[in-house]
Amino acid sequence: MTTPDHDPLASAHVWLRTAATELGVNPGIVRELIGDILDLTRDVAHGPSRPAAPVTAFLVGLSAGRAGGDTPAEVRARIERLSELLEGER
């Protein structure tokens, strides 16, 4: 149960903003992409492998970073590629 003084979504946003800032990532990009990232991890967890879900999100970030992709569109393109791959496995 969520209480007014403990909202999991609010605490997630606080943590992600803190982590992004610490790692030199624009927190706005994280906020814009959080829904896409959560959808991808959900689909991986309910599809090929639950333990692979967070690692898949890491791979998306690593791939985007290695390619110099620091815009939401570039990250989203990688998420879409993996989403299409997941669709092919169903």
Q: Could you tell me if residue 8 is inside a domain?
A: no
Q: What is the pLDDT of residue 6?
A: 76
Q: Could you tell me if residue 5 is inside a domain?
A: no
Q: What is the pLDDT of residue 62?
A: 94
Q: Could you tell me if residue 49 is inside a domain?
A: yes
> Are 56 and 82 a contacting pair, CB within 8 Å?
yes
Q: Which domain holds residue 45?
A: 26-89
pLDDT tens, position by position, 2-20 = 555 678 889 999 999 999 9
Tally of structural domains, the chain = 1
pTM of the model: 0.85
State whether the Cα torsion 2-6-60-28 is positive or negative. positive
Q: Could you tell me if residue 44 is inside a domain?
A: yes
Q: Could you tell me if residue 51 is inside a domain?
A: yes
> Are 25 and 17 a contacting pair, CB within 8 Å?
no
Q: Could you tell me if residue 6 is inside a domain?
A: no
